Amino acid sequence: MKARPAPSNKADFYARYQAGEFGNRMRIWPCTCDLLMETRPPRTVNLRSKKIAGNFIPGVSITDAINLLATGSFVANENPPDDCLLIQGEVGRTVEGLYLWYSTVPGLRMRDAMKQGIEAKGLVADAILGHYLAYRDYELVMSLVDAYDGVVEFSAYSVPVGIDPGYQVAIWEVRAY
């Protein structure tokens, strides 16, 4: 089966991410009105740029988030339980097979963790994913790797996370950019 194209830019990604195309994710609020209407608002959120890769602002108060969301340049997402992190990374397929760039250091942002990440390929990459991810989480990540021509960015935790009950993995991004 031919892989579907992964999002080629941030705007394409967020439209598809919000629609639930990529499976389990943390709660997101793309605009001020969504955050104001939240019945269980968090104390802080993370803000991610809708346009610039890597533009991330962690731990923003709801008041500040509302002001920044009003600019239309950011989307807010629920803070994950970073103290419960098991593994985070990027996984995809190359001509050589499965490829994984990962970190098991808790408390680091993805970008910082990947600067000191570890590379694994093939069966070793598959074994690492199988070790750290519960079966259901492994199946979700691998289904995305197989379905899209791109990279899957994920984090797995020792506790349930996200909008879909029973998952311990959050999908952060599926991309070809």
3-state secondary structure of 141: helix
Our measurement of the distance from residue 50's CA atom to the centroid of its chain's CA atoms, rounded to an integer in Å, reads 14
> pTM surpassing 0.85?
yes
**pLDDT tens-digit series, residues 26-40:** 999 888 888 888 888
**pLDDT tens-digit series, residues 43-70:** 889 998 887 766 788 889 988 888 888 8
Q: Rounded CA gap, 98 and 95, in Å?
A: 9
Exposure of 176 by Cβ count < 10 A (0-12 exposed, 13-18 middle, 19+ buried)?
Answer: middle
